[in-house]
Structure 1
Amino acid sequence: MAYYASVVLENKASATERHEDLDTARRWIEEERRSKPKLFQFGQIIEATPARPVVASCNANGWNPT
């Protein structure tokens, strides 16, 4: 299953990438969180399905259960 990984930064800039698995999407968000610790606001992983459910989210402090 494919996933969309989104990152939102403090300056309201955002980026979204499509990944073919959950682990790759999570790693991409973690890399963004570590490389921009002062700007990072939150990240989300969303299933690439018509319903688009959020399957994981995090803020500057780490991952939150969904």
Structure 2
Amino acid sequence: MQSFYQDITSSPAKKKERILKSFQKTSYYLKKFTAKLQMSTFEDLTEKKKQYFYKKQSIN
């Protein structure tokens, strides 16, 4: 409720600045999260590849 009141009373420039800052923070954390997600997916895939080839070799 207080932030809503601040939005009404503050100037448009300050409002724009605050929105921009929150957007930048969000995009930063989103990029960080997707990078971690991509790395974990890549590691999972390489691990599965190793297991697959190991099984294939043990059969032959």
Give the TM-score normalised by the residue count of structure 2.
0.30
Structure exhibiting the larger radius of gyration computed from Cα positions: 2
Give the TM-score normalised by the residue count of structure 1.
0.27
Larger helix share, 1 or 2: 2
Larger strand share, 1 or 2: 1
